Chains A and B, each alone.
Chain A
Amino acid sequence: MKDLFQLAIQGVKQKGKLTILMIVNLVIGITLLLTMSTMVKLGGNSVLTNKAAQMHHFSLNYMDSDFEIRNQFRYPPLTFQDAQALKNADLEYKHLSFNYDTRFILESELDNARPMIATASASDIDYFSVFIVPFIYGAPWLDTQSDSDVIVIDKKVNDHFFSGENSVGQFIKVDKQSLKIVGVMDLSQHNRRISNMRFSNRYNDLAIVPMATAERMNLPRAGYMPCQTKEETQRGEYRQHNISALKSAECGYLHTWIEFDQQNHQQQLAAATLWARNYTQQQANLGRFPHEEKYKLNDLQLLLNEFAQFMRWEKVYLQFSYLLFAICLVNTVGILLAKYQSKNKLVSLYRALGASRWYIVKIHLIEISLIAFAAIIAGVLFAHLGLELMFQVSMYQMDYSADPSLVKLFFSMDYGFAFTSGAFIYAAILIAGLYPVYRISGISPASQLRG
């Protein structure tokens, strides 16, 4: 074996310029392929992926018959009345959580930092379990505090107003009213804001307040809030001021997530679907739910896959990368043919000295493996650079208005993925090298030794 390696290394060194050409050619292709494929792969990732099949967005389509659902993310949130009905239904699930999208101004009690606009959610306590919210200080509010003046803030808010110190127990002003901080969460690994169905990678929740508190404080309803045509003129009022009128209106603002037990997922989903069917049928008799598709329980995995479809540009880049990698493989064949052409005499000599054809094949496969390995390692290193460049392009594209730490999550090296891709790339290079190896191994003994 040792002699095989020595001969292979010798082969790598022979015609060094062509070896370097081959490595450069492969490194370029691998860098581009790894950069683009990592981007597309990370684009469909979420920290919730492990339970994405059990999590469902619950929607009932109460809208007018001419309302068109343009994509999976535009199913209406629940109206208050429908949310109450669902809450009171006799269903089994792991968690049921309601939230609405809001934004408000955060200010320091001590006036020691500039105020900031917070994208936030008004939610129930189940929100923290459904979205696996990690805490660095404190915890979610208690059940008994669901109507209290309390708030959970994100680490970024904590850094801004409290210099990163533990702020649990301190107060922060939300739209001029003081709320007590009960927990500091860290959503830095949550690459998308899923709770409001926007799947935005620009900003995540900077704060979460109990739903009842948000209603009492009249924190605005900021997100997607479709209303029936008859309510349309009141929509602005519902968003900003009149929460009590909104509660009886045909306007959906409560995003509803239901998580089923992993064990009884299918049964619980079937029961929830049956409830949705019966409820909408019963309501249809009262003149509501004119659409044929009256309810929708989309699971998170489907939504993540669907969202990945929106990465059209990245996919074009990836297609081009595949094409270019294919050209690189063609080049590899060409370079190996050129490299081995000058080895004809040597191989002929080996064969004359008794080396079998299989022995020649092994030498050259090891030689190609060494080159491929070096190219893959270099390709992974350069892909770091590629991802950094694409991160900069992405920030430029967003005019630097997004949270860079959130965007960065989509442009970080995923070593597990890189390892798997590396294995495929290695196999592809080896397959591409088979033809030149077949040619060189076919040289008959002493055929080249005349001259």
Chain B
Amino acid sequence: MSLKHILKLILKQKSISILIVFQVAITLMIVSNSAFISYATLQNWLIPSNLEEKQILNVVTHVYDEQVDKGQLIERDLAAIRALPEVVSATYSGEENVIDTRRSSNVVYSDNLDENAKDHSIALFGVDQQGVGSLMLNISSGRNFYANEFVTGDAETTPASVALISDDLANTLFEEGSPLGQTVYLNGSKTPYQVVGTFEDKMLGESATYDQVWYHGMVIPEAIYGRNNELNYIIRVAPNTSEKILETLETLFYQESGRIVSRVEFSARAKKRLWDGRSSFAFVMFAISAVALLITSLGIIALVTFSVKMRHKNLGILRALGASKSMVLKSLIVENSLLALVGLVLGFFLSLWLNMALLQTLGVQGTPDIIVGILVTLFVWLLTCFAAYLPARKATLIAPAQVTKAS
């Protein structure tokens, strides 16, 4: 059957045609936007953390008893933690925990004189001698800290003077130049630290990741406590350590009175928190998309079934005039494809409109991606073809004799 005849048939059944176009357009609008949002989330998920997420643990505790000597408590805690068979190493954590910004976000400058110097968001770790090992950092240039460079003490303690920075941060701050021996300046106080080494990139910071500099990291040999009531630790455990370690640690911490244990978790959990909001939105949109696809398929099955029944005689005559089963099937599929095509074009514009609307109302936008858009369009088109195929196949079974008998 020629395209001209198929177009004539479409025009003859205007209401069915409009319904199919409408369904396909709405479906594409919903599914494509869900796909864009999900894809954006997936892209976040797929950023390699380079982190041993099931081997590094965060511990956050609050000391509320002012009588407790925090320095001694840290020593007792570390001794008890390190005595556990699953624990490889552990450090007191005076600044951030892994993907868990604690007191406030941290920034670093490469210049302390220029007031307009750009600040660079970083993940900052103040650790003791087991810190580098506990974070499982690999030194890529320069050296690790010397034992005599570590400082420990309360809030009045003089800061350390050296630092390790990540390769990515080194590139950002010093571009092609060597970072070794350079000075970086920390936060508003512009406390200077000399870079003695760099480490391979790891996703370590919560704020840094939100600022899209997931590999910006800096480690300083400072185990300073008493800036607030938190006493936090970063613990490295052996591979394949079970979740039981979390309860073991919590129980251990509660053996000391005067404190609350707020968090004992694998860093995988901290990483999950990064995208909770977006990913849950993506989950729901994904589910709604699946429902939209299902409903549209059911709708097309129903409408094509009706269309075929309406044209029962015509199809029979067509068969009597020598059209093969495959010709009938093909004409019905082409007819539906043309309708789907119109729906997809309309859906394309509706998708762009919805994308903008989501940005304005929610501040959430899955940036339209051409490949994702094409894949979704193809998928919706294939699904409509399949939905049309089911009743169309039945139409091919109409026997020519049935129609000729009736007439």
Partner of B19, one of A334, A396, A398: A334
Name the prevailing secondary structure of the B interface residues. helix
Interface residues on B, range: 35 or more
Bound complex: CA A389 to CA B288 (Å): 13
With contacts A334-B16, A398-B276 taken as known, whether A316 is within 8 angstroms of B299 at the C-beta atoms is no
Partner of B294, one of A28, A105, A330, A338: A28
Bound complex: CA A21 to CA B294 (Å): 11
Structural contact, A21 and B30, CB atoms closer than 8 A: no
| Interface members, chain B 348-407 (any A CB < 8 Å) | 358, 361-362, 364, 405-406
Interface size on A, residues (CB 8 A): 47
With contacts A393-B283, A397-B280 taken as known, whether A18 is within 8 angstroms of B273 at the C-beta atoms is no
| Shortest distance from the beta carbon of B86 to any chain A beta carbon, whole Å | 22
Structural contact, B291 and A330, CB atoms closer than 8 A: no
- CB-CB under 8 A from B269, the residues of chain A are 399
B262-305 CB contact bits vs A (8 Å, 1 = yes)?
10000001001100110011011001100110111011011101
Bound complex: CA A21 to CA B361 (Å): 36
With contacts A327-B296, A331-B298 taken as known, whether A338 is within 8 angstroms of B306 at the C-beta atoms is yes
B254 at the interface (CB under 8 A from A): yes
Structural contact, A393 and B280, CB atoms closer than 8 A: yes
Partner of B26, one of A116, A323, A333, A451: A323
| Shortest distance from the beta carbon of A235 to any chain B beta carbon, whole Å | 15
| Interface members, chain B 148-198 (any A CB < 8 Å) | none
A390 at the interface (CB under 8 A from B): yes
With contacts A28-B291, A317-B288, A341-B310 taken as known, whether A327 is within 8 angstroms of B299 at the C-beta atoms is yes
Structural contact, A338 and B309, CB atoms closer than 8 A: yes
| Shortest distance from the beta carbon of A107 to any chain B beta carbon, whole Å | 9
Inter-chain residue pair count (beta carbon < 8 A)? 116
| Interface members, chain A 371-422 (any B CB < 8 Å) | 389-390, 393-394, 396-399
Q: B residues touching A (Cβ–Cβ < 8 Å)? A: 16, 19, 22-23, 26-27, 30, 62, 64-65, 254, 257, 259-260, 262, 269, 272-273, 276-277, 280-281, 283-284, 287-288, 291-292, 294-296, 298-299, 301-303, 305-306, 309-310, 358, 361-362, 364, 405-406
Bound complex: CA A333 to CA B15 (Å): 11
A425 at the interface (CB under 8 A from B): no
With contacts A176-B65, A397-B280 taken as known, whether A324 is within 8 angstroms of B291 at the C-beta atoms is yes
Structural contact, B260 and A115, CB atoms closer than 8 A: yes
A328 at the interface (CB under 8 A from B): yes
| Shortest distance from the beta carbon of A314 to any chain B beta carbon, whole Å | 9
| Shortest distance from the beta carbon of A9 to any chain B beta carbon, whole Å | 22
Structural contact, B283 and A399, CB atoms closer than 8 A: no
Partner of A117, one of B27, B260, B284, B406: B260
Question: 8 A-B residue contacts at CB 8 Å?
Answer: A114-B254, A334-B299, A337-B306, A341-B310, A396-B283, A399-B273, A399-B276, A451-B405
A24 at the interface (CB under 8 A from B): yes
Bound complex: CA A4 to CA B309 (Å): 27
- CB-CB under 8 A from B262, the residues of chain A are 117
A335 at the interface (CB under 8 A from B): yes
A108-138 CB contact bits vs B (8 Å, 1 = yes)?
0001001111000000000000000000000
* Nearest opposing residue in chain A for B296, CB measure: A327
A77 at the interface (CB under 8 A from B): no
Structural contact, B298 and A24, CB atoms closer than 8 A: yes
| Interface members, chain A 152-169 (any B CB < 8 Å) | none
Structural contact, A175 and B64, CB atoms closer than 8 A: yes
Structural contact, B299 and A25, CB atoms closer than 8 A: yes
A179 at the interface (CB under 8 A from B): no
